[in-house]
Structure 1
Amino acid sequence: MGLFDLEKHFAFYGAYHSNPTNIVIHMIFVWPILFTALVLLYFTPPLFKFSSIELGDQSVLILNYGFFLTIIYALYYVGLDKKAGFLAAFLCLICWVGSSFLAHRLGYTLAWKNLALPYVLLKEKLHVWGKCCERAIPNFVYQKGYSCKSLFCLYWGLLVVLVSQLICWTGQFIGHGVFEVIKRAPALLDNLAQAFLMAPFFVLLEGLQSAFGYEPYPGFHARVKAKVDAEIKEWKDKKQNKLS
């Protein structure tokens, strides 16, 4: 299966996502997974010596692993299909910028108003912890001006991000286990590259097809449907042979 063979990749994806409810579930959850992953990657070190984009007096946009991942996704989607690919690349860029701003604010404001009491109760421990772990925290974190109070909020913010990841992945597994007529393992277990790299583009393509009847080229969806039907039939035959 060629890396840029959109028809084969989309047919493989379609064979695992044939139920409309499961398709909608993936449309809802796939892009938030990418967004929250970029929030986590925001706290990775810069790739170059001068890797920040100044906005006012603060460095919000950092050319780090999150940016590198965004570029890979964007270029790959454009390589799959220029029209939908450019839209997907733009959405990836929006996710990177939005996640950068959110991550930048995590250490300052997120959950602070709701967590004022726990902070007061843990204030002494936080100061002790802050001094003890100062050497272990990367320098670029301190360069951002994080105090113990900020790190406390950062902790809760990242916890929210991780919970979001858990909810999104759980929702997709439920979509496969509950709504798909053909009970087979999610594509994640058979094709990691598709699950992490191609899924955002495929759910966008599903949305464009449903809303506007978009096709990368004439006859695309007819060919994909034929391949999906053949893939499902092959899977059923293999399962039947194992049972017999």
Structure 2
Amino acid sequence: MAFLGLEKHLTFYGSYHAHPTNIYIHIVFVPVLMFTMMSLGANVSLPLPLVPSEYANLSTVTAAVYGLGYILLAPIPGTLLAPYVLVQSLVGSYCVGHIDRFNMYAAAVQVVSWLLQFVGHGVFEKRAPALLDNLSQALFLAPLFVWIEVLFMMGWNQELKLRLEGSVAERRKEMDQAKKGKGKGKGKSEL
């Protein structure tokens, strides 16, 4: 499970997602965001040999990169998640080509989904989202993280779950101490 530092990545992401309500918000809206992202990526055509023109686009390439990355990072969850990512890409590509104004709907859903996740962080986590510290890591890991959360809820790899809970608690404590350290010495006279 440690291939490519899975536990390190999940600890990073998990340290921003510990409140159950925020986790559930992400479980619902990260797949929605991924689908709409794949759909919008379908608008960028690419010359891909052996791929039907309707699916020769950025969405297909993104799905392949994400799917392969997930398999390398977490073989069991990644192998289960990769086909879902590919299906999101294929369905998104189909919708863009066959549903009037689908891009407008996808963009609107993107905005609402992002807003709800920021609410999850601000109201429930009381901390900024992970993407403010590491955008690429957060965007790549979010779908895998929520998938692994679902697998944990179904009883998969409870040993890993317990290790992550400990490392996340430790990292959150460090983050809180660092935050307090930044706030020291800032009284009203310094404003």
Instruction: Give TM-score, length-normalised by structure 1.
Output: 0.70
Rg bigger for which structure?
1
Could you tell me the percent identity over the aligned residues? 36
The alignment status of 1:64 with 2:57, answered yes or no, reads yes
Calculate the aligned-residue CA RMSD, in Å.
1.8
Alignment of 1:78-117 (within 5 A): 78-106=71-99
User: In 1, distance between residues paired with 2:36 and 2:50?
Assistant: 21
| Equivalent runs, 1:50-199 vs 2, <5 Å | 50=49, 52-53=51-52, 60=54, 62-106=55-99, 153=100, 156-180=101-125, 183-199=126-142
Partners of 2:124 and 2:6 lie apart in 1 by: 26
- Which of the pair is proportionally richer in helix? 2
How far the C-alpha of 1:66 sits from its partner, in A, is 1.1
Contact 2:41 2:58 in 1 (8 A): yes
Q: Is 2:165 aligned against 1:225?
A: yes
Counterpart AA for 2:137: Q
Deviations 1:109-155 (A, max 9, x none): xxxxxxxxxxxxxxxxxxxxxxxxxxxxxxxxxxxxxxxxxxxx3xx
| Count of matched residue pairs | 183
Of 165, 174, 188, the residue aligned with 1:234 is 174
Sort the Cα spacing of 1:3 and 1:170 in 2 relative to 1 into closer, same or farther, 3 A. Answer: farther
- Tell me by how many angstroms 1:231 deviates: 0.6
In the aligned structure 1, how far is the partner of 2:140 from the partner of 2:178? 28
How big is each residue's C-alpha offset from its partner over 1:29-77, in whole Å with a ceiling of 9 and x where there is no partner? 00111111111111212223x4542xxxxx54x2221111111000000
Alignment check: 8 A CA contact 2:95 2:102 kept: no
TM-score (ref. length: structure 2): 0.89
Q: Distance in 2 between matches of 1:76 and 1:204?
A: 14
Alignment counterpart, residue 200 of structure 1, candidates 143, 167, 171: 143
Q: What's 2:188 paired with?
A: none
Q: For 1:219 and 1:27, locate their aligned partners in 2 and report how far apart those are by CA, in whole Å.
A: 21
Unaligned runs of 5+ in 1: 54-58, 107-152
Q: Hey, which bits of structure 1, 4+ residues long, moved more than 6 A?
A: none
Gaps of 5+ in 2: 185-191
- Which amino acid letter does the alignment assign opposite residue 155 of structure 2? G
How far residue 8 of structure 1 moved from its aligned partner, in angstroms, is 0.8
Distance 2:76 2:180 in 1: 41
> Does the CA contact (< 8 Å) of 2:66 and 2:140 recur in 1?
yes
**Residue type at the aligned position of 2:77:** A
Could you tell me which amino acid in structure 2 is paired with residue 214 of structure 1?
W
Aligned AA (1:38)? M
1:3 deviates by 8.5
Q: CA offsets, 1:201-220, max 9 Å, x none?
A: 1101001101x2112xx731
> What secondary structure, in the 3-state scheme, does the structure 1 residue paired with 2:108 have?
helix
